[in-house]
Structure 1
Amino acid sequence: MTAQTLTLTLDTGDGQHGDVVIRLRPDLAPGHVERITELAREGFYDGVVFHRVIPGFMAQGGDPTGTGMSGSDKPDLRAEFNSEPHVRGTCSMARTSAPDSANSQFFICFDDARFLDRQYTVWGQVESGMEHVDALPKGEPPRNPGKIVRATVSD
């Protein structure tokens, strides 16, 4: 496969949950795509919950503690802000107020969130399985959070 067809699959479990397939965009954010693929291949995201799920806005995960206060042991990333819009299915990197603080946490937009454009690094787009993102338990944090059972990368 070419870099344009590199995908990340998030298995969110059986039953009402399932696979969320994300087309990775190394053309927009090569450093972020490299980090996400590295973490997925290491098993970092396996078992990690979606700790912040806000209806009409986004679902956030990628913190191994499930608190939203942690990340991987790898260095933070330099921002790769781009002009890709934050719309339904957009995958973007979470960060603190410091632009170069993204690490492992990410979010998937439920709806248009254009106010985030050029302030957060877009690195992918959901190609299929958005209904599984929609079905994630809501809350900050959810009482019984949805989780990534397994994250895999195909290239």
Structure 2
Amino acid sequence: MIRRAVPALTMLTLCAASAAAADKPATPVAVVAAARASEWREIAADDLLVMTIEGGRRVVIQLAPAFSPTHVGNMRTLAKAHWWDGTSINRVQDNYVVQWGDVTEKKPMPPGLSPTSSADYVQPIANRRLRVTPLPYPDPYAPSTGFVAGWPVAMDGDGVWLPHCYGFVGVGRNNSPDAGTGAELYAVIGQAPRQLDRNIAVVGRVIEGMAHLSSLPRGSGELGFYTEAEHKVPIVSVRLASDMPAAERPRFQVMNTEANSEWNSFTHYLRLRANRKDDFYDRPAGGVDLCNAPVPVRPVP
């Protein structure tokens, strides 16, 4: 094989390009992509709710039983009873929420649902050993924030709760003392309405198919509800992944948020979310709020 000599100027250019690439500031995306396999954990199939809507579009919700055990327990019961099959998406309010359930409010509930109350919105910290990765920036809605077991959380001296971030799922309810059963649900599709924190049960987050919800036509009725003349998007089925055939189950991993060392991938990712120094950014923000540091989730590779 004949090897052609590389001109000295070209060689210097290549070396300079390689050095520039090596010195290029890291980005959050790059840190996530480079995270070790040991820094991810698989989400249990019993914590994945798979909703299929009109047109075969799939939405996958990760449930949060540690932070909303009563409502999540009810949702598992509803899914096992196929209660949502044949219901619909009834409300799409711009920059706020997509809401679904039984528009008639007359569909019988399956047996085995537990009573709920506003006490279920916050979980007590007492006697719980939470391994918290703190977010060291001021939050207008809570004394402190951070990450526990792959979830963003807000906290005070007594309790811990999930925030209303983009894509998070909450339980629809009437006025207090009603706290909802878990049958009527909504997903946040706009700027995080954190004023709802501790006023409604937050039960999980959408981890796949968010575009199928956020792109739906907005309802023209009050609060974005669809009128009789508008098309309510049918829900074909809702299943727990654990009740699906193994070959059809979606599988996902969430990044480990526990800071085992100062330089683990999630800690580095958080630092970069607050201090972007890559080519596009001229001024790092010097901080990040809880909803703008989403915990990375990926399909099982």
TM-score, reference length from structure 1:
0.86
**Letter of the aligned partner of 1:12 in structure 2?**
I
Matches within 5 A, 1:27-42: 27-42=66-81
8 Å Cα contact 1:58-1:107 kept in structure 2? yes
Mapped to 2, the partners of 1:138 and 1:56 lie a distance apart of 10
Summarize the Cα distance change of 1:89–1:70 in structure 2 as closer, same or farther, 3 Å threshold.
farther
Residue 206 of structure 2 is matched in structure 1 by: 126
Deviation digits for residues 45-88 of structure 1, max 9, x if unmatched? 0111111210110011122xx14x55653565223113211011
Q: Distance in 2 between matches of 1:50 and 1:135?
A: 13
Q: Of the candidates 88, 91, 94, which is equivalent to residue 52 of structure 1? A: 91
Instruction: String of CA shifts for 1:75-110, please: whole Å, max 9, x gaps.
Output: 652231132110111000011111443021111110
Confirm or deny that 1:151 pairs with 2:216: no
**Percent identity of paired positions between Structure 1 and Structure 2:** 27
* Counterpart in the other structure of 2:257: none
Moved more, 73-82 or 142-151: 73-82
Partners of 1:60 and 1:106 within 8 A in 2: yes
Q: Residue 62 of structure 2: SS of its match in structure 1?
A: strand
Matched, 1:108 2:187: yes
Query: Stretches of 4+ moved more than 6 A in 1?
Result: none
Q: Which amino acid aligns with 1:102?
A: G
Counterparts of 2:187 and 2:206, CA distance in 1: 8
Asked if residue 86 in structure 1 is aligned to residue 164 in structure 2, the reply is: yes
Q: What RMSD over aligned residues (CA atoms) do the two structures have, in Å?
A: 2.2
The DSSP-based 3-state class of the residue aligned with 1:148 is: strand
Alignment coverage as a number of residue pairs: 150
| Higher-Rg member (1/2) | 2
Range that drifts further, 26-35 or 71-80: 71-80
Larger mean CA deviation between 80-89 and 118-127 belongs to 80-89
CA distance in 2, matches of 1:93, 1:109: 11
1: CA distance, partners of 2:64 / 2:195: 21
Counterpart residue identity of residue 46, structure 1:
D
Offset of residue 123 of structure 1 = 0.5
122-131 vs 71-80, which moves further: 71-80
Residue among 218, 235, 246 paired with 1:138: 218
Per-residue CA distance 1:100-137 (angstroms, 9 max, x = gap) = 43021111110211111110000011011000011223
Distance 2:115 2:176 in 1: 10
Structure 2 residue 94 is matched with structure 1 residue 7: no
| CA 13–126 in structure 1, closer or farther in 2 if over 3 Å, else same | same
TM-score (norm 2): 0.46
Distance 2:117 2:76 in 1: 16
